[in-house]
Amino acid sequence: MGRKFIVGGNWKMNGNKKGIDEILAFLAEGPLDPDVEVVIGCPSIYLDYVHSKLSPNCKNVAISAQNCYKVAKGAFTGEISPAMIKDIGAKWVILGHSERRNVFNESDELIAEKIGHSLEEGLHVIACIGELLEEREAGKTTDVVFRQMKAIAAKVKDWDKVVIAYEPVWAIGTGKTASPAQAQEVHAQLRSWLTDNVSKAVSDNMRIMYGGSVTAANCKELAKEKDIDGFLVGGASLKKEFVDIVNANK
């Protein structure tokens, strides 16, 4: 398989300059598996700080925003655009995270528009999808993630800069992790969806990250699954254990 393993750290709304210095220090110390693509998702106010402080040792670490708006500029108080993210030297944006969907009520349509615009601007996108606990318990997991994929696919012309993060919402920040088999099952279904609705080539090349209470203790088991191509890590990305998660395949 030619899919390069990718591990993202989503810091969410955490940290300050002192804490960020500590994170950048353990990333610089690593050692990080050079065959893994690492992406760190910083609060927007610190993107430039992180960009200026990232060690030259961290050649395989790129910087990501955690959200952006769907147009380049204008009267949208409080928002940031993909053009701004690129301007400070960051290359990625995380869109559609479950907290954007479920706390800030972003719709499938808005998320898809943000993804479409970010790609047009040349950013790489981590597109997040995932079902709520009640949706899983009602047997609706594939209905939900396929609906989310369909909205995204309507706005994506070129999938080269897209990675998908499957994050079952019931496993985010709860300490509950999907078992490797549960995660693999949905990852395989997503890959079939891509084969059926986009193309075999996109499906074969698409990296599908798993997110939801990934830790140093469970990452190796998850990484063994054939359709798990990386992780999107929340809380553990603020800790030195993130290095072990990056190195899950070693």
Ligand X SMILES: *[C@@H]1O[C@H](CO)[C@@H](O)[C@H](O)[C@H]1NC(C)=O
Regarding 210 and contact with ligand X (CB under 6 A), the answer is no
167 in catalytic set = yes
* Distance, CA of 122 to CA of 142 (rounded, Å): 30
Regarding 55 and contact with ligand X (CB under 6 A), the answer is no
Binding track over 85-114 against ligand X, x by CB under 6 A? -------------------xx---------
* Distance, CA of 210 to CA of 186 (rounded, Å): 10
* Distance, CA of 232 to CA of 211 (rounded, Å): 5
Regarding 196 and contact with ligand X (CB under 6 A), the answer is yes
Regarding 192 and contact with ligand X (CB under 6 A), the answer is yes
Show Cβ contacts of residue 185 under 8 Å, excluding neighbours closer than 6 positions: none
The amino acid at 157: K
Instruction: Closer to ligand X by CB, 27 or 190: give it.
Output: 190
Write down the least CB distance from residue 80 to ligand X, Å.
18
Write down the least CB distance from residue 110 to ligand X, Å.
12
| Structure tokens that stand for 30 in this block | 């690593």
Write down the least CB distance from residue 44 to ligand X, Å.
18
Instruction: Closer to ligand X by CB, 21 or 204: give it.
Output: 204
Query: Collapsing DSSP states into helix, strand and coil, what is residue 238?
Result: helix
Regarding 150 and contact with ligand X (CB under 6 A), the answer is yes
Contact by Cβ (8 Å): 244, 29: no
Among 5, 11, 146, 242, binds ligand X (CB under 6 A): 146
Write down the least CB distance from residue 199 to ligand X, Å.
12
Instruction: Closer to ligand X by CB, 76 or 104: give it.
Output: 104
Write down the least CB distance from residue 103 to ligand X, Å.
7
C-alpha pair distances (Å), 169 with each of 65, 101, 139, 174: 20, 10, 14, 9
* Distance, CA of 81 to CA of 33 (rounded, Å): 31
* Distance, CA of 230 to CA of 163 (rounded, Å): 10
Enumerate binding residues for ligand X (CB under 6 A): 104-105, 146, 150, 192-193, 196-197
